[in-house]
Structure 1
Amino acid sequence: MSTPQLSKQPAAGGADAVPLLELRDLHVFYGAIEALKGVNLTVGEGEVVALLGANGAGKSTTLKTASGMLSPRTGEVLLRGERIDGIASHELVKFAMGHVPEGRRVFARMSVLENLRMGAYRLRRPDPDDLDRVFTLFPRLADRRRQLAGTLSGGEQQMLAIGRALMGKPELLLLDEPSMGLAPLIVQQIFEILREINEQGTTLLLVEQNAAQALQLADRGYVLETGQVVMSDQAGALLSDPRVRAAYLGESGEH
């Protein structure tokens, strides 16, 4: 079977513009277990879209399927209106999609600088402007550029994972639990930087258990339960919805 070819030309703007990313009726299995049960989701160019849900709801599976790490049994993944579910994840990097996985996954025995250069592997050589951008966003990484990644703090490793993805010049960045295990002050810093990254033109699809932080950053959101989308709305509407507040913000819903 030949590898699908994907246009690198952006979709036209306007109300009827094709979504940057679209997931259509995704059914994804781990063996006999159905992890996604007909997920539908869109991400428009320039948006921040949050994907919320409890552990095991299918959030990471959704990102992995979108980025080609998993293949759906049925359903479609489209980038700018063209199917990409037949394209391997390492090939999708060429089409300006980046994925920051859960758990950071930095190369522990390589330096910060070497990790960042690995993020630009699809390019013939790293662009110095991209490196400068990462160091401007994350000054700590500039200070630790020669340090082994495995010796960084958890927050610094998360910064490195995001910076490494940015070195590939992504137009769409998928982020899986960027706040996991981090101190509140570091979480705040990470989300401020994600806002800046979006304002610089990168579209974000964000999986995050910190619902309040995610919805304050996002334009829109989806809620997954047991592999199905059960709610979708503008971020502000979800943030004020009593069901979301009870389930993800620890509120009882009683007044």
Structure 2
Amino acid sequence: MTVATLRERQTATAAPTTAILELAGLHVSHGAISALKGIDMVVREGEVVALLGANGAGKTTTLRTVSGLHAPASGAVRFCGERIDGLPSHAIVGLGIGHSPEGRRVFADMTVLENLHMGAYRFKRQRLRQEDLERVFALFPRLAERRTQQAGTLSGGEQQMLAMGRALMGRPELLLLDEPSMGLAPLVVAQIFEIIKEINAQGTTVLLVEQNAAQALKVADRGYVLETGRITMQAPACELLDDPRVRAAYLGEAAR
């Protein structure tokens, strides 16, 4: 998809205005190390927002803070207008935030089906679990074929599908994806990003952390660039994709 095509797509679609996630002045430290240094970010309902940056920039810390796995030193995290910083992770999942973590983190000794049911633990009604299972199997037919297989025996791409499917079993309004293409073959990467587009088209807002900047910006509406704990750029995805600084830093091109 060309930059011009991306720009036409984004111009033709009215920008959503309702903020589903807001980070305001967020500071997070790991011991004596400042990982996030007062970042501000907004993800609007219906968007795919890409968060780009080098290793160690603070991308994973951002997602883990939204999920309640890190406590901010200061600042606020708001979901649908309500502060959620300080809530435990299980409560945040219950509010409607799903997280597919870096490195997949599937339960290796459990089957595909058991892993998916773990993602639906907050739903007690079997009918809801079955509906969500059917949705996940429609998005990821390979998981349906492997439903009785132990997760640890799956390929890397299949484990990534399982991690995403498990997060979707919680019926999230906001899906956090941390490096979904890491370590995968190019054909599988393309497939994963097509599925991300379909998940979003079905109504789920996505905050995407991804080293593959070209792929991320092709599916995103907007993007932020995070450098050593600070937001240094934010713009529509098509503008970032065409920005010489982004192309030099993240797309492997010489600065123009």
TM-score interval, normalised by the smaller of the two chains: over 0.9
Deviations 1:209-240 (A, max 9, x none): 00000000000000000000000000000000
In structure 1, give the amino acid aligned to 2:69.
M
The answer (yes or no) to whether the contact 1:27–1:75 under 8 Å persists in 2 is yes
Q: Secondary structure at the match of 1:20?
A: strand
Check whether the contact 2:16–2:46 (CA below 8 A) recurs between aligned residues.
Answer: no
Counterparts of 1:173 and 1:15, CA distance in 2: 19
Structure 2 letter corresponding to 1:51: L
> In 2, distance between residues paired with 1:244 and 1:92?
33
Give the aligned partner of residue 218 of structure 2. Answer: 216
Q: 1:154 aligns with which of 156, 160, 175?
A: 156
CA distance in 1, matches of 2:136, 2:203: 14
Unpaired runs of 5+ residues, structure 1, are 1-13
Other structure's SS at 1:22 match? strand
- Match for residue 166 of structure 1? 168
Give yes or no for the alignment of 1:96 onto 2:86. no
Structure 1 position 86, deviation (Å): 1.6
Paired residue type of 2:119: G
Aligned-partner Cα distance in 2 for 1:146–1:125: 22
Please state if 1:247 is matched with 2:249: yes
Q: Is the 8 A contact 1:141 1:156 kept in 2?
A: yes
Consecutive unaligned residues of structure 2, counting only runs of 5 or more, are: 1-13
Matched, 1:111 2:102: no
Residues 15 and 195 of structure 1: CA distance in aligned 2, closer, same or farther (over 3 Å) = closer
CA contact (8 A) 1:18 1:81 kept: no
Q: Conserved in 2, the CA contact under 8 Å of 1:140 and 1:156?
A: yes
Cα RMSD, aligned residues only: 1.3
Q: How many angstroms does 1:18 deviate by?
A: 4.2
Letter paired with 1:238? L
Moved over 6 A (4+): none
Bigger drift between 120-129 and 151-160 goes to 120-129
Supply the distance in 2 between the matched residues of 1:110 and 1:99 (Cα, whole angstroms).
19
Tell me the TM-score normalized by structure 2.
Answer: 0.92
**Cα distance in 2 for residues equivalent to 1:104 and 1:227:** 24
TM-score (norm 1): 0.92
Q: Which residue of 1 aligns with 2:228?
A: 226
Count of aligned residue pairs for this structure pair: 241
